[in-house]
Amino acid sequence: MKARVTVTLKTGVLDPQGQAIEGSLKGLGFPDVAQVRQGKVFDIVLDESFGTDEAGARSQLTSMCEKLLANTVIENYAIEISN
């Protein structure tokens, strides 16, 4: 089973890296860029012990996000699971 976890900053949290990327894109000739928010993507492969238990996998992935992958004070996360 494969999972993709996308972590992004919550609305209202300052994103200096996104602002720097936005400025660079404009400097490279892309003036139509209105805003850039940066984030992180984690591609995770779970071993066969989960089988087709998507609920169990989602529970484990949520725990991973809460404990390590995301700073839930300032970041949101989304989990996508595929087989």
Domain parsing of the chain, residue ranges: 2-82
pLDDT tens for 10-33 read 999 999 999 999 999 999 999 999
pLDDT tens for 45-58 read 998 887 778 999 99
Homologous superfamily (CATH) for 2-82: Phosphoribosylformylglycinamidine synthase subunit PurS (3.30.1280.10)
- Pairing between β-strand 75-82 and β-strand 39-45 as defined by DSSP bridges: unpaired
**Which pLDDT score is estimated for 50?**
73
pTM of the model: 0.86
What would the DSSP string read from start to end of the chain? Answer: -EEEEEEEEPTTS--HHHHHHHHHHHHTT-TT------EEEEEEE--GGGTT-HHHHHHHHHHHIIIII--TTTEEEEEEEE-
Greatest pairwise CA separation for the chain in angstroms = 49
Q: Give the bridge partners for 5, in sequence order.
A: 42, 79
Task: Check if the beta carbon of residue 74 is closer than 8 Å to that of residue 82.
Answer: no
